[in-house]
Every structure is written in structure tokens, then in C-alpha cells.
Amino acid sequence: MFNWQMMYASIMYMYLRVCCWCRGTWQGASREF
């Protein structure tokens, strides 16, 4: 039995981590320039 809730939660967690990482790198780049 495949657990869709676990897969959905893991995808959302990874998506939020990528968003936070991209936002942090963009802030760092704008701060440098």
C-alpha cells in the first residue's frame, strides 16, 4: 500500500526547503551587489 500523504508531505517539505534556499541565495547576491 502506497502512502500518498507521506509522499505529499515529503514533496512539500523538499519544495519549501528549495524555496528557502533560493530566497537565501538571492538575498545574499543582492546584498553583495
pLDDT at 12: 95
> Tell me, what's the pLDDT at 9?
95
Task: State the pLDDT at residue 25.
Answer: 77
Torsion of CA 17, 20, 26, 30, to 10 degrees: -150
Q: For the whole model, what pTM was predicted?
A: 0.53
First to last CA, the chain: 51
Which position has the grid cell 502512502? 3
pLDDT digits (tens, 9 = 90+) for 1-33: 678 999 999 999 999 999 888 888 777 666 655
